[in-house]
Structure 1
Amino acid sequence: SEEQLIGPSLADAQWANVNLAVVQWSQVGMLGDEYKARQGTRHGKRKSSVTRLEEYEAAVRANRQLAVALRAQGLDEEAARFAYRAQLLQRIVFRRQGKFGQYLFSLLLDLLAGYGYRPGRSVIAYLVVIFGFMGLYLLNAHGAAVHLSWDEALVLSVSCFHGRGFFLQNVTLGDAFARLAAAEAVLGLLIEVSFIATFTQRFFGR
């Protein structure tokens, strides 16, 4: 049942010499702090926005503190899971605080790499952009002065993504090829910056 997936409330808990390895953390879907924060009412009354913000902040703190404690005892996989949940909750805090710029950037980091805890998303994002622009280059080549084979379009897409694009013969700055290459270079730069920020936070910020 859902109740079996809810752990205790642990915000500001003092772990001291508690052995966390004896707990089956894989069976804990969320901490009690998060469950409490996600409830819109208390004792049949709707919570105020201030109360809900405070509860989400406590839930962020609880997940981060637990992640640190788990990592200190060598339980890295479980620590990563709760650290990821802390990031998801922090995004909600940003939204409730009206910090929409930080909220959107946090959302972008989650979509691209899951804050460094879902590296498979990075590969998917990279392939989507590379093959997406490859298709655009091929479509644009039809009826144009420049003709590309699929492998040439792939090489062009990879080069442009990493900011090392090159102009083809008979292509001017006003051509669609040049505009697509510029767009892919900008998108590639944004994605690479997001990757660096994400994995720096994941492995060094913690």
Structure 2
Amino acid sequence: MNVYPFIEAENARGHGTVTRACQLLGISRTAYYNHRTRTATGGSTRQRTDTALTEKIIAAHDRSRGTYGAPRIRAELAAQGHRHSRKRIARLMQQAGRAGRAPRRWRTTTVPDPAATTPPDLISRDFTTNASDINTRWCGDITYIPTGEGWLYLATVLDLASRRVVGWATADHLHTDLPDQALRNALHQRRPQPGVIFHSDRGCQYTSQQYAHTAHQAG
């Protein structure tokens, strides 16, 4: 318990002397006046060092995008010539509300079907941008988003000419219905003329009969 503010308050009210207050609380006058000196000069040397070190820790933590814990931050600071114990760095990180975070595990979203027929690459890996080619070349992919209730999967359709997302869909599964719905949404939004080339990876969702049927229906 910090009794020094009580002594200062009592002294300010004129209810007694510093000597009497120190006697009642069982501390020495020297300790009290040392505390006042440290407060007036911005804290003890240790406190000032901790403040400066915390700033370096926060900077290193930010550079790691919040992934570094105490061991890796300690190693980075040591490489800069600042050698401190791991326990001290861990303590300061905790006081600053910082903690390491393990990178999220990679999740595979599209897996090739070895039995599926691979369609030809009709755009010949040409992903250049040309504003006059809107609604002529689309591409699609599936990604994932971590949420508090599990993984949310997102399928998108991108117009290569404008780099705009023209259709998308979300679901808690990776069934073909997900990218199929994204393509249907793109068709509904853009209503392109027949002849649009759709490009994707060779994931089983995109090489499925269901997806091919939707694409053929739309021309």
- Whether the TM-score (by the shorter chain) exceeds 0.5 is no
* Structure that is richer in helix per residue: 1
- Greater C-alpha Rg: 2
* Range of TM-score over shorter length: under 0.3
* Structure that is richer in strand per residue: 2
